[in-house]
Structure 1
Amino acid sequence: MAGIKYEIIKTEGVISESSRGWTKELNLISWNDRPPKYDLRDWAAGHEKMGKGITLSKEDLKNLRDILNEMDL
């Protein structure tokens, strides 16, 4: 993406992989030299292309964890 600088600080995990080789990942990413946040999105191999995703603060991620733990999955 032109004009957007990012650095993947840590890959927390790969959630799934598509038949095209893209992976849905939870990463800790610094966007435009800002403090890192948790990010959930699809990535092409080598992280050269990305899909739309969501960025979460640590508090957001904790709240999501609590919601998922309460769900009957």
Structure 2
Amino acid sequence: MAKTQFEIIEVLHQFPKAENAVYRKELCVVEWFGNGPKYDLRGWNEDHTKMTKGIILTEEELKELVEVAEGFLY
């Protein structure tokens, strides 16, 4: 199995960690396999060596998500 290649360029936000949780959800700018930076939302362990499944968004997709979310958030 090939090793996952990534570089966390910037951690934009860390969500509160659930009690007894191993992973903390973070919104980061990450470069995957040298394909340029993207916005990334997933769980990471403390030293960023292990991760959960997540989503990767372009800048346009993130803007659209924020716009859509503003329409239905209470």
Q: TM-score, normalised by structure 1?
A: 0.90
Superposition RMSD in Å? 1.5
- Name structure 2 gaps, 5 residues minimum: none
Structure 1 residue 72 displacement after superposition: 3.4
Which runs of at least 4 in structure 1 moved beyond 4 Å after TM superposition?
Answer: none
Counterparts of 2:6 and 2:16, CA distance in 1: 22
Q: Which aligned pairs between 1:3-42 and structure 2 lie closer than 5 A?
A: 3-18=3-18, 19-42=20-43
Aligned length: 73
Greater strand proportion: 1
- Name structure 1 gaps, 5 residues minimum: none
Sequence identity percentage: 37
State the partner residue of 2:45. 44
Q: TM-score, normalised by structure 2?
A: 0.89
